[in-house]
Amino acid sequence: MARTRHETRTAAGAGALLAFVLGLAGGVAAEETAADQSEKEIEKYRAMINDPMANPAFLNVDRGEILWKTARGSKNASLETCDLGEGAGKLESAYAKLPRYFKDADKVLDLEQRLLWCMDKIQGADLKEILSRKFSGPGKVSDMEDLVAYIANKSSGMKFSAQVGHPKEQQAYAIGEALFYRRSSIEDFSCATCHGDTGKRIRLQALPDFTKPGKDAQDTMGSWPTYRVSQSQMRTMQHRLWDCYRQMRMPAPEYGSEGITALTLYLTKQADGGEITVPSIKR
C-alpha cells in the first residue's frame, strides 16, 4: 500500500514530534559513544516516525502540491500539464521511472531537470530565482525540494522501474557507472571507495554497497527524499550526491547536471525492483 498523506495530520503534530526527535538526538549526543547510540535510538523510533502524521517532510509534500497546482511565471500557468514521462500531469509512478529519456528535450533527465524544463517551457518561470533556493536552509524554503517531495510521494509504495531501454538511457547509465568508479581529487576518492564492498562502515556508519544490484541499493534509493534529523531539513538524492562530492573533496557539482543524472540512473538501476517509501526520515 502506498503511504500517502493523512488529511487529518496537522503541522503542530509534526512539529511536536520533531522536537521530540531532536531532543532525543541531542541528549544522546552529549555522551561519548554518541554516533553509535543516537543511530540505534533513532533506528528504534524510525518505524514510528515514518508515520505521515509525524514526519516533518510531509509539510514539504503539502507545499509541493500547492506549487504544482498554482499558476506562476510569466505565462501564469501551473505545472499540471507537465509530462514527467507518464503523460501530461500524470504523477503516479513517474518518480519510479526517473531518470528517463524525454523526446521533446532529446535528453535523459532526472526529476529536477524535468521540473526545470517544465517551469521554463510551461510557466516561463524565473529559474535563476528558483535555483537560488535549490537547497533549503534556515529560513529558506526550496520549491525544488518541495516539488520533488510531492512527486516522489506519488510513487510511494511502488517499485523502481529503471529506464535503460533507449540508447541515450544506456549511454547515461554507462556514464553513471564510469563516474561511480572515477577516482580524483586530493584524497583519491571515488564513490566506490566507500560503496564498493559489502558490510563496511565509516566510523560506525554502515555503508551501502552500490557495485551490485540488490538490497543495499534498494533500501537506499527507496528512502530518498528523506527528512534529515541532523540537518533539520528534507533532502533529495540531488543533495545527497552533492554532499558525497563534498566529502570526496571535489568542488560542488552543478545542480541538475548530466553527471548527477547519470549517477542517479546508475544507482536507480542497481535499486531496480526496490520499494519506494518516501519521504522517509533518517539521522
Partner 1 sequence: MKPLSISVVLAALSFPALAADKVAVPPAEVEAVVQAMFKSALEDWKPRVGQDETQRVCTDTRNNPPDAEAAKIKARELASIAYPEDGNVMGDWKKGEKIAQTGTGGQFSDEPGTVNGGNCYACHQMAAAEVSFGTLGPSLLGYGKLKNFQAAENKLALAKIFNAQSVVACSNMPRFGYHKFLSMDQIKDVTAYLMSPDSPVNK
Considering the complex, state which of residue 71 and residue 204 has its C-beta at the smaller distance from partner 1.
204
Distances (CA, A) of 232 to 18, 22, 57: 9, 9, 10
Which residue matches cell numbers 523502481?
160
Q: Which of 78, 93, 161, 193 binds partner 1 (CB under 8 A)?
A: 193
CA atoms within 13 A on the CB side of 143: 19
Q: How far is the CB of 247 from partner 1 (least distance, A)?
A: 7
Using the rule CB under 8 A, is 275 a contact of partner 1?
A: no
User: What letter would DSSP give residue 253?
Assistant: P
Using the rule CB under 8 A, is 93 a contact of partner 1?
A: no
In whole angstroms, give the CA distance from residue 150 to residue 152: 6
Q: Which of 66, 88, 249, 273 binds partner 1 (CB under 8 A)?
A: 249
Residue pair 234/148 in contact by the 8 Å Cβ criterion: no
Q: Which of 90, 202, 215, 230 binds partner 1 (CB under 8 A)?
A: 202
Grid coordinates standing for 157? 509504495
Q: How far is the CB of 248 from partner 1 (least distance, A)?
A: 9
Taking only Cα atoms into account, the Rg of the chain, rounded to an integer number of angstroms, comes to: 19
Using the rule CB under 8 A, is 260 a contact of partner 1?
A: yes
Considering the complex, state which of residue 48 and residue 204 has its C-beta at the smaller distance from partner 1.
204
In whole angstroms, give the CA distance from residue 35 to residue 55: 22
CA atoms within 13 A on the CB side of 234: 29
Using the rule CB under 8 A, is 251 a contact of partner 1?
A: yes
Out of 82, 118, 194, 244, the active site residue is 244
The piece of 126-134, 142-150, 220-228, 257-265 that touches partner 1 (CB under 8 A) is 257-265
Using the rule CB under 8 A, is 105 a contact of partner 1?
A: no
> Which phi and psi (to 5°) does residue 98 adopt?
-105, 150
Using the rule CB under 8 A, is 190 a contact of partner 1?
A: yes
244 a catalytic residue? yes
Q: Which of 28, 109, 158, 194 binds partner 1 (CB under 8 A)?
A: 194
In whole angstroms, give the CA distance from residue 230 to residue 227: 9
Residue pair 271/216 in contact by the 8 Å Cβ criterion: no
Residue pair 86/80 in contact by the 8 Å Cβ criterion: no
Q: How far is the CB of 209 from partner 1 (least distance, A)?
A: 12
Of 58, 62, 68, 65, the residue nearest 88 (C-alpha): 68
The piece of 76-84, 87-95, 202-210, 212-220 that touches partner 1 (CB under 8 A) is 202-210
User: Interaction with partner 1 in 150-189: which residues (CB under 8 A)?
Assistant: 167, 170-171, 173-175, 178-179, 181-189
> Which phi and psi (to 5°) does residue 140 adopt?
-135, 110
Using the rule CB under 8 A, is 139 a contact of partner 1?
A: no
Considering the complex, state which of residue 133 and residue 166 has its C-beta at the smaller distance from partner 1.
166
User: Interaction with partner 1 in 18-77: which residues (CB under 8 A)?
Assistant: 33, 35-36
Distances (CA, A) of 119 to 48, 126, 148: 36, 8, 13
Active site residues: 244
Instruction: Name the residues that contact partner 1, by CB under 8 A.
Output: 33, 35-36, 167, 170-171, 173-175, 178-179, 181-190, 192-194, 196-197, 199-205, 207, 246-247, 249-254, 257-260, 262
